[in-house]
Chains A and B, each alone.
Chain A
Amino acid sequence: MVRKLFPLALGLLVFFISFQWLNEEPVEDPRVLSTSETTRTQGVEVKKESIVTDQLEKAPVKQNYKPAVHASSEQYGITPDRIEIPTIDVDASIQALGYTPDGGMAVPKSLTDVGWFEPGTMPGNQGNSVIAGHVDGNSGPAVFYDLKDLSPGDEIHVYDENTKLTFEVSRIESYPYKNAPIREIFGPTNTRNLNLITCTGPYDDEASTYSERLAVFTVLTDRQEL
């Protein structure tokens, strides 16, 4: 009896362990809020010698110096209709979309189009404009499948009928779905940014969505009349 049960139990045990291991959740660190990275790039020596309490010492403080923008500075935002990312062979139509019934960001039903968050900033204007696209459909890759392969310095072009705007990738981050810094991606800023979003990380069957979101941050570098 035992001889037959032992291998059964062993099999069960291996199954459970390997299932847990294979299905492991991503670590939910708030990866955005570190001082160290930006501090290093600007060569700042951070001195911690005085009466800083523990709570404050561990506190996330992001160094974030940017020049302010003048009121009279030209606003040249466009209603974008096409996006082109040469590095990853993306050339897609843009739909202007708003909110989901829950107040989230809507995305196109189409797997080949991308969606611009229309209530937010127009690409080219001061602020964070946002474009999202699918990483995949039910059976295969979609428009932003290769977004993860972008690297800082890569160019993104956004068009309307008369204008071509060029943005340059500054950084790429991924965040847990439920704990992404919405305000950093969509909120106010002094610069003219375009941020691209798609899904990444392991698929979460229970929530019927990917467990992470990839955000590609880009900054306006050029504007051409066509």
Chain B
Amino acid sequence: MKKLFSSLAVVVLILGIFAPSVLADSHDQNAMLRVLHASPDAPAVDVYLNDEAVVEGAEFKAATDYMEVPAGEHTVEIYAAGTKGEQDPVISTTVNVEAGMAYTAAAIDNLENIQLKAIQDSMEATEGMAKVRVGHFIPGAPAVDVGPIGGDDLFSGAEFPMVTDYMEIDPGSYDLEVRTTDGTQLIDLSGTNLEAGKVYSAFAVGTADNPEVLLLQDSAAMPTMMPATGLGGTADSSSNAWMYAALLGVLAMGAGFMLTRKRSEA
């Protein structure tokens, strides 16, 4: 009888070893960060985050997708491409990011005055609406309005290097323009298509003579869960595991009986 108890003890011990461990969800601790090169006369750059290369050879008008970074303070250094270790960075600064938030770090102004502007990005639009904001990153250009061609302003009086608040508008195709506050068109944005559930940042970049707009997506409509795309008909499901385990168990039991019987015969 003692043997039985010790065997059971072993079973319990082994079950303990196989007990599933609970893993923390690492995504919750992170923030999202993207980098935009909006300095019209700056060279292609490498971007280092905490001394680690995250972007290589990004030219003017390049933007990264969002990168997942831990919450907290990060050192951001921007070097002319390939010059780390040989030259000083053109920008060296820190950016503080909160968990669960998204940010854009934009290198703005002419090379002479280049600086990093960090802004927080919206991660949600009302269902069925599009959400948009405008950033004025054209050094030396006057204050601008943005609105439909021949229509009222959606955004007024944006000055360098300002980023407006977000505004929710109906999704659809818009013939927008960026114009000076006296109505002169600077940039034609005819056929700008804004989708429902999306959040956009329209950053005006370039020079006063050669302005253009980068339309970045800050967010999109997302489900809270992945889809349930299988019913298990072809799976090695756990019922199979039960079967195989039972089979092995019975085999072992049989072997045990044989063994004890042989011993008693001997």
Contact = CB atoms under 8 A, between A and B. Distances in A.
Interface of A: 1-25, 28, 30, 33, 35, 39, 42, 44-50, 52, 55-57, 59-75, 77, 99-100, 102-107, 115, 117, 119-122, 125-128, 132-142, 144-145, 175, 177, 179-183, 185-191, 197-199, 202-205, 209-210, 213
A68 B229 contact: no
Interface residues of B, number: 104
B50 A2 contact: no
A6 B235 contact: no
Contacts of B53: 39, 44-46, 63
26 contacts: A7-B255, A11-B252, A14-B251, A15-B246, A16-B14, A18-B249, A20-B14, A25-B20, A47-B85, A50-B51, A59-B50, A61-B69, A64-B67, A65-B56, A66-B63, A68-B61, A68-B62, A71-B214, A72-B189, A72-B213, A103-B223, A183-B66, A185-B226, A198-B230, A199-B229, A205-B232
Given A20-B15, A77-B193, 14 more contacts: A16-B245, A17-B14, A61-B67, A62-B67, A63-B56, A69-B215, A103-B223, A103-B224, A104-B228, A119-B221, A120-B221, A127-B220, A183-B32, A204-B238
Nearest to B23: A28
Contacts, number: 342
State the 5 A-B residue pairs at the shortest beta-carbon distance, nearest first.
A7-B256, A11-B253, A15-B249, A199-B230, A104-B225
Contacts of B248: 14-15, 18
- Interface SS of chain B: helix, strand, loop or mixed? mixed
Contacts of B30: 60
Interface stretch (B5-13, B112-120, B153-161): B5-13
Contact of B227 (A19, A70, A115): A115
B150 to A, nearest CB: 18
Contact of A198 (B49, B56, B229): B229
A109 B81 CA distance: 52
Contact of A16 (B11, B65, B218, B238): B11
Interface string B54-70: 11111001111111111
B60 to A, nearest CB: 10
A13 B1 CA distance: 16
Contact of A126 (B67, B188, B217, B253): B217
Contacts of B87: none
Contacts of A175: 226
A6 B229 contact: no
B151 interface: no
B15 A187 contact: no
Contacts of B239: 205
B227 A210 contact: no
